[in-house]
Structure 1
Amino acid sequence: MAIVGLLYVGAVLFINGLLLIGRVDPKAAAPLNLFVGALQVVTPTYLIIAANGDPALIAAAAGIYLFGFTYLYVGIGLLANLDTTGVGWFSLFVAIVALGFSYVNFQAVENRPFGVIWLYWAFLWALFFVVLGLKREALTQYTGWVTIIQSWVTAAIPAMLIFTGRWTNPNETALALAIFGVVVFLALLPLARRRRAPEEVVPTPTPTVPAATS
């Protein structure tokens, strides 16, 4: 069930990445954030009830709430035109917790691909904190493109591979994800130095963050 949510997380990340680079209007992005946010709250609630007290299953489901609450926060913020500092500082909290979930996936459940994916998400949330919480708007374009790439690499593609039974070779997959992330996100760094011309400046929109699985 969590994998179904992961697929739609790919969709909302894609839309919010386009929002950050100025291709989607903030209010137009709000409904999808609310839809996926609601899904990411209902899903872990069901999984926890069905876990029958199993600590491992409960822990796996608990992380999904981080993302569900964030999507709802983002959707409401976009519709109400709220200041972005709230979701920005919440993103710092989630980025730190994501490191813990990465460790759990590496050590406790030995799911190395998702251990790497949690590191991707920790990096993305850290960017959201800098852009939205600290208002470093020079990083908006960079963060937008990182979000778009992660929508496919950490969500949509893994979900489809898992659905079709092709999510195999975990060690090789984890290594490929790690190398890809380092190379691509370093290659995008020039975007962090690029500023819009004055007539192109737009208010920093509120993005969202990925959903959890293990």
Structure 2
Amino acid sequence: MLHTSLGAIIEDTRAAMRRAPCFQNPVSGLGCKFCGSKRSWVQHLRQVHVFLPRTKTGHDILASGTNHNSASGPILRYCPAILLTLYYEVSAIGVTPMIHLGLFFAGAAYILNGLSFLGVVDARSSSPLNTLVGLFFLAITYQLVWPLHDFTGPEKTEILLVAAGELLFGVTFLYFGVASFTGLSASNLGWFCGWAALVSAAITAVQMTWFGDVKSAALWFVWTVVFCALFAVLALTLERLTRPTGYLIIVAGFSTCFFPGGLLLLRSWELVPPSVVWTVQLSAITLFLLLSIRSSRIAPNDKPHPLPAA
């Protein structure tokens, strides 16, 4: 069979990658999770090379006369196709450490923003960190979505779900950063947080029911409550919830970002039982509810900032 288009080559390469053992499970920059080795990308490319069908596409131009069945044969046989396909298929997996790193540093932004709600730091001073973290999440979103040339298949759906979460965080942090620095009205931002709360609740349900990722669902459940609290403070101007929201953001910075992100970077997140994750997250929400009830009985002495960042 003689292939004549790059698309056909990519389809051949994608099929080969599905047959190659190490590509049946996620491959991260830290090594292959299937075989446990520290294989380089070139070594993984050579593995794909073994499974490629015998065709003349690209061979006559790039590697004429080579042994197609040899695992040590020139990887240049399908060099453009393999590199493109590898990028399309596993760039989202390769960006996984960036997601973990973003979650880790989002904790710092959360903590600083919570302090701004408590009046410890000026809201405007937190705008640089919010902007940088927001731009980082937007870059991750681009890295996740851009390689997708189609949106079919359950694996693509999961990537899109992750991208939706990253985009939600990116836009939120960037919005808060810009609004805090420029002094924009908090009302529109609060209504955006109301919409973000609905999106977060939907992602929580999907993580729980569709993908069965109960630990991620626990994190998204807390973020849903955080967005609801921001909506109440910024859009509905419930000033008595300003300080409880500040404490909630600080606790969420540790419980949903700093510690999970750090454990993911150390590849130890899987060792944490789901029951522990849910207990910690429900404790954070319970603390917020108790503080909210207490604040409703006491007239607030501190006025909120014109635009506390979150």
Give the structure-2-normalised TM-score. Answer: 0.62
**CA distance in 2: counterparts of 1:130 and 1:25, whole angstroms:** 21
Which residue does the alignment assign to 2:182? 80
1:20 maps to what in 2? 117
Q: Cα–Cα, structure 1 residues 160 and 85, in superposed 2: closer, same or farther, change >3 Å?
A: same
TM-superposed deviation, 1:165 = 2.3
SS in structure 2 opposite 1:139? helix
What's the counterpart of residue 111 of structure 1? Answer: 213
1:142 Cα deviation (Å)? 0.7
Q: Show the counterpart of 1:33.
A: 130
SS of 1:122's partner is helix
In 2: Cα distance, 1:153 partner to 1:147 partner: 10
Alpha-carbon distance between aligned partners in 2 of 1:182 and 1:79, rounded to the nearest angstrom: 29
139, 152, 168: which one aligns with 1:42: 139
Contact 2:116-2:309 within 8 A present in 1 as well: yes
Which piece of structure 1 moves more, 82-91 or 63-72? 63-72
Q: Supply the AA of the counterpart residue of 1:184.
A: L
Aligned-partner residue type, residue 187 of structure 1: L
Distance 1:178 1:150 in 2: 8
Shift in alpha-carbon separation, 1:195–1:24, aligned structure 2, 3 A = farther
1:184 maps onto 2:262 in alignment:
no
Distance between the aligned counterparts of 2:134 and 2:297, measured in 1? 32
Which 5+ residue runs of structure 1 have no aligned equivalent?
A: 209-214
Aligned pairs for 1:64-75 within 5 A? 64-75=166-177
Distance in 2 separating the partners of 1:14 and 1:192: 24
| Local SS of the residue matching 1:109 | coil
* Equivalent position SS for 1:8: helix
Instruction: Give the drift of 1:21.
Output: 0.3
Partner of 2:259: 157
Preserved CA contact (<8 Å) 2:119 2:305: no
Q: Identity, % of aligned pairs?
A: 27
Higher helix share: 1
Higher relative contact order (CA 8 A, sep 6+): 1
**Cα distance change on mapping 1:138 and 1:57 into 2, 3 Å:** same
Q: 2:237 aligns with which of 124, 131, 135?
A: 135
Instruction: Supply the distance in 2 between the matched residues of 1:181 and 1:75 (Cα, whole angstroms).
Output: 25
2 CA distance for matches of 1:57 and 1:36?
20
**Most deviating of 163-172 and 28-37:** 163-172
Report the residue type matching 2:203 in the other structure. Answer: F
Instruction: Check the 8 A contact 2:239/2:300 in 1, yes or no.
Output: no
Shift of 1:51: 4.7
User: 1:211: which partner in 2?
Assistant: none
CA-atom RMSD in angstroms = 1.8
